[in-house]
A and B are shown apart, each in its own frame.
Chain A
Amino acid sequence: MISLSNISKRFERGAAPAVDDVSFTVERGETVVLLGSSGCGKTTTLKMINRLVEPTSGAVEVDGADTRTVDPLALRRSIGYVFQDIGLFPHMTVTRNVEIVPRLLGWDAPRRRARADELLDRVGLPSAEYADRPPAQLSGGQQQRVGIARALAADPDYLLMDEPFGALDAVTRDQLQGELIRIKTELAKTIVFVTHDLFEALRLGDRIAVMNAGKLEQIGTPDDLLAHPATPFVSDLFDQARRQARLIAGDRA
C-alpha cells in the first residue's frame, strides 16, 4: 500500500506550489491513474513516491514505512519505474538494460540472465532474437516494452509509470495498454500511472485521481467520476470527452 498524506512541493521559495496538499492511498493490487494536463503536478507527485523528488511538506508511506526513513536508493530499486521518454541506456544491450536493477541488487549473472530472458518473452520480445541488440535497433514500441521489462526485473511490488505510452503512435499505444492490463492481472502489481489521456485513464485505472494546478480535484472509480463529478473541472473534463465522442459518431453518420 502506498499512502500520500498532505504532500506539497514547492520548487522555489515563494513560487506557486507544483503540488499542493495532495492526499490519497493506493491499495495493494490496485492501479491508480493520475490524470491531468501538463504542468498539473502529476509527474512531480509520482516522483515523490520513490524520492526522485523530495516533498516540501507531508509524508509518503510505502508498506507502512515513512519513505524518509528508507534509503532512497534501496527504495528506488524496490519500485519499478517506467519513463515517459523510455530512457534505455543506449550503450547497453537489451538484456543489460533489463538486468540493471538486479545487477545493482547484486544478483549473480546466471540468475539475472534467466530473469531477463523470462521478462523479454513476457513483454513480447523473444529473448533469442532481441537479447543482444542495442536499443537503437528497436522501434519505439519495442523500446518501451524493454522499459517495462526493466521496471519488472527485480519483481517489485510497485510500478510507477510516467506517461509511458505518450510518445507512441495510437496503434502501438493500444497494444501496449492491452499488454499492461494482462501483465498487471498476471503479476498482481500495484501501479501508479500518470497520463493526460482520459481514455487511457478510463481503460487502465481502477481509480482515477484528477489533478489540476497542483491540487487533487477528485479521486474515484471511473464510474464515480462520470456519475458524480465533485468539481466543475472534473465535469468539464468528461463533458469535453463526450462532445468529442459525439463528434466522432456524428462524422461517421
Chain B
Amino acid sequence: MTIVARLVAVILLTLVALPARAQQPTVRVGSKNFTEQEILAELAAQLIERTTDLRVERRLGLGGTDICHAALISGELDLYVEYTGTALLTVLKEPVIANPARAYQATAGAYRDAYDLEWLAPIGFNNTYAITVRADQADERGWATVSDLRADAGDLRAGFTSEFMERPDGYPGLRGVYDLAFAATSDLDPGLMYQALADGQVDVICAFATDPRIDEYDLRVLEDDRGFFPPYDAAPVVRADTLAAHPEIRDALALLAGAIDDDTMRALNHAVDVQRRDPAAVAREWIDNVLGIPEDAGPAAARARTPKNVFQLAWSRRAELGRKTLEHLILTALGTSIAIALGIPLGVLVHRVAAARGPVLAFTEIVQTIPSLAMLAFFFAIYGLLGLAPAVTALVLYALLPIVLNTFTGLRGVPAQTVQAADGVGMSSWQRLRIVELPLAAPVIIAGVRAATVLTVGIATLSTYIGAGGLGDFIARGLARNDTRLTLLGAVPAALMAVTLSLLIRLIERRAKLA
C-alpha cells in the first residue's frame, strides 16, 4: 500500500512541477515533422535567441498542420512557419487562389480576423507540391507534364503522404483536374516516399518542390500544366499577443523576410537530408553567414565532429539521448502506473458486477483498435495542450486492456472453494479481495502489467507527434530525414527499455508466484 501511495505522490508532484517550468518569459517555437520545418523553426528560434533576451522553447516535429495550428491558437505555441496554400486550404478551408500575393493577403487577413494570429513577411521560397517520377521512366514514356500521366495512370502506383491523400489541393483535387486514376495509391511517410520512388516501390509521388532528394535520387518533377497546385509561400505565423508583449520578435524574424529562395531552401534541406547534418547546425551556419555574427563555437568545428556511424552519433549526442530516454521512461511510468491504478479496480468491478463486464471490456477493446496517432491528436484537441497530459492519457487508455483483462482473468481463476472458505471464516468482501483474491490473482495481474508496459514503451514513441518528447523524437526525425542512424538512436534504446522492463516485471511476477 505504501508503495502505491508513494507512487501516486510522485505522479502528482511531477504533474504539478512540469507546468511550473514554463513560467519564465519564453517563446515557444513549433514545427511540423519534416526537415524543412525543423530548419525553419531553428532559424526562427536562433534568430530570436541571438538578437533578443527571450528564452526559446522548441517543440519540433509535431504531427501535422492541424496540431500545429491548434497549438498556436491554444497558446501552446507562439509561432511556427506555415505555407500560404496550406493555411488557405487546410486551415481556412477556402478555395485555391492562384496568385501568390493575393493568396498571402487573403490568408493573413483571415488569420488576423479569425484567430488573432499574424503572418509576418514571406521568407521567399514556394514549397508547392510537385508530382514527381523517376527520370529514366519519364524519358522512356515521354512524360513532361502531369497531363502526360493520364494515359498511363492505369498501371502506375502512387505513393502519397497521408496529408496529401486528404487535402483538397492534394489527390482528391488532382484526380479531378487531371482526370487521373492510378492503379493503386498508398499512404507513405514523407521521409520515405522519395526512397520508395527511387527503389521502384511506387511510380509517382507528390514531392515537395524544395526537397533535395529530387536531385539526389535522379527524380523528375512533372510540370503542373493546368496550374492545379496553389502557391505555398512560407512565412512565420505568430500569436498577436506574443508580438504585442515582445515586439522584438518581429524585428528578429524580419531578418528572414525574402531571404531564402527555392534554391537556398533546397540547399539547406540538402545539408540535413543528404549530408546528414543537424538542422540546428545548418541553421546556425546560415545565420552566421547572413548576419556576420559568428557564434562562440564555429560551424567548421561542428562540421568536423559530424559523426559517421550510429555509435559515434549516440556518443556525440549522449546528453540528449539520456534526456530523451528519461523522458521516455517518465511517459511509460506515468502511463503504466495510472493504467494500473485504474485498471485493477476496473478488473475487480468487472469480476464482481456481471452487468459491468460487457460495457467495460468492450470499451477497453475498442480503444485498442483506435490508431495511436488519431488518439494522440484527439486528446490534444480535447486538452488544448501539447506534451505530457494528452500523451499520457492516450497511453493509459492503451495500457488499460491487458490490465483489466488480466485482473478479471486472475480473479476468476481463484478456486471456488477458496472463495467460499474466505466467506466462511467471516471475511468481508473487501478483506476477501485483499487477503485472498488479489494475492492469488497477482501473478496473472502482473503478467498483464508486463504486457501493458511493453505496449506503452512502444506507443510512447509516437508521443513525439504531439511534442511529448521521448525516444520517438529521434525515430520521427530519422524517418523525416530518411536517416536510419537517427531512427536507430531512438528505436534501439526503446527496444532495450521494453526488454529490460519486461524482465524486471517478470522477476516480480516470479516472486508473486512463489509467495
Q: Which residues of A contact B (CB under 8 A)?
A: 50, 52, 72-77, 81, 83, 85-91, 100-101, 104, 150
Contact = CB atoms under 8 A, between A and B. Distances in A.
B424 A52 contact: yes
B418 interface: yes
B310 interface: no
Contacts of B423: 52, 76
Contacts of B439: 91
A90 B426 contact: no
Contact of A150 (B425, B436, B440, B515): B425
A84 B361 CA distance: 35
A101 B417 contact: no
B439 to A, nearest CB: 5
B431 interface: yes
Nearest to A87: B421
B426 A83 contact: no
Contacts of A50: 424
Contacts, number: 52
A87 B417 contact: yes
Interface size class of B (residues with CB under 8 A): 10 to 19
A249 B418 CA distance: 42
Contacts of A81: 424-425
B440 A91 contact: yes
B440 A90 contact: yes
Interface string B420-445: 11111111100100011001100000
Contacts of B417: 83, 85-87
A88 B426 contact: no
B440 A76 contact: no
Interface string B394-425: 00000000000000000000010110111111
28 contacts: A52-B420, A52-B423, A52-B424, A73-B426, A74-B426, A75-B426, A76-B423, A76-B424, A76-B426, A77-B425, A77-B426, A81-B424, A81-B425, A83-B421, A86-B417, A87-B417, A87-B418, A89-B418, A89-B421, A89-B422, A90-B440, A91-B436, A91-B439, A91-B440, A100-B435, A104-B427, A104-B431, A150-B425
A45 to B, nearest CB: 15
Most buried by B among A75, A86, A87, A88: A87
Given A90-B440, A91-B439, A91-B440, A83 B420 contact: yes
A152 to B, nearest CB: 12
Contact of A87 (B420, B426, B435, B440): B420
A81 B415 CA distance: 18
Nearest to A47: B424
Nearest to A85: B417
B261 to A, nearest CB: 74
A90 B424 contact: no
A24 B515 CA distance: 45
Contacts of B420: 52, 83, 87
